[in-house]
Amino acid sequence: MTEQPNNGQKSQGSWLVRRAAEVAGWTLVALGIAALVLPGPGLLTIVAGLALLATRYTWAERLLTPVRVRAYQLAKRGVQTWPRIIGSTLGALGLVAIGIVWGIGLPVPDWWPLDRRLWLAGEWLTGVVLIASGAFALALIAYSYGRFRRHAVEDGTGEPHDPAEGTL
């Protein structure tokens, strides 16, 4: 005897998808808030979370626009000058280097006052998170450069702007 699909399966599947998107959205918002003070792309993670939540909530849709505009303004500002680009790139590469050192581990120094187990806690798990944050930051720098800075050079204005939306 074969099972006949019932109408409840379709609505149950869409309910599951809606709930998964909602959980993912709230998770991204929480991670984004944490990333505002920790290494990582805080505003962009919040934008991704709000985009998911905006499919269900009008308040999230209203909040998404100003947060997205602010994220683009900061991205544009980050590639306005070569010192900023170089500083951001060095910071991202520093995160990768710290992640590698953290993962490899160094011997506990004599001056370490806490329990020896707390020296470079997390080992490769923490190291991979730092490496991923640095790699993501490098990708965002490249994206921002391509979207804002490269077009400023091509059109001769010298002012970074978003060619798709005019000057930000």
Q: What is the pLDDT of residues 79-138, one digit of tens each?
A: 889 999 999 999 999 999 999 999 998 898 999 999 888 888 888 888 998 898 899 889
Q: Which residues pair with 166 in a beta bridge?
A: 162
102 in Cβ contact with 130 (< 8 Å): yes
Q: Which amino acid is at 109?
A: P
Q: Does residue 59 have a pLDDT over 70?
A: yes
Task: For residue 83, count other CB atoms closer than 10 A to its CB.
Answer: 8
Give the domain ranges of the chain.
Answer: 1-78, 79-168
pTM of the model: 0.66
16-58 per-position pLDDT tens digit: 888 999 999 999 999 889 888 876 678 888 888 999 999 989 9
